[in-house]
Amino acid sequence: MKSATEEQIQQFAELSGDTNPIHIDKEQASKSIFGERVIHGVYALGWVSAELADLYTDDTVILRGFESIEFHKPITLKEEVEILLSEVKLAETIDFTITNPETDEVKVTGTALITVV
């Protein structure tokens, strides 16, 4: 299970330069269509990379990019999500899904391009 804390999102905003109020300003985010702060989509994609590294503990896995990414629903601060990976397909692609197992909501889906060495 993965979740993001206030401190992690603030640090990510500073490191990435993405200081969009939807991520870091509680008051402004409360007026948005989401009604609260949401984590950066790219931050969530980092969790996919981490899951790949955990899956291939005896090998080196290189995340070369994404064939597709779709953000279905926002991930809020401290919301716990699960990253699910499919079996590796031809051409070294792997499908992923980020879900909230408590609500069964699909948050993000996509296909990652990987090389295992």
CATH number at residue 13: 3.10.129.10
pLDDT of residue 91: 66
pLDDT of residue 60: 86
Q: Is 1 part of a structural domain of the chain?
A: no
pLDDT of residue 9: 96
Q: Is 101 part of a structural domain of the chain?
A: yes
Handedness of CA 27, 104, 45, 56 (dihedral sign): positive
Q: Note if the pTM is more than 0.85.
A: yes
What domain range includes position 36? 6-116
Structure tokens at 9: 């999102």
Average pLDDT on 83-105 reads 89
Q: Is 110 part of a structural domain of the chain?
A: yes
- Helix 6-16 vs helix 41-55: angle between axes, to the nearest 10 degrees? 100
Instruction: Count the domains in the chain.
Output: 1
Q: Is 82 part of a structural domain of the chain?
A: yes
Name the one residue in this structure whose structure tokens are 């603030």. Answer: 10
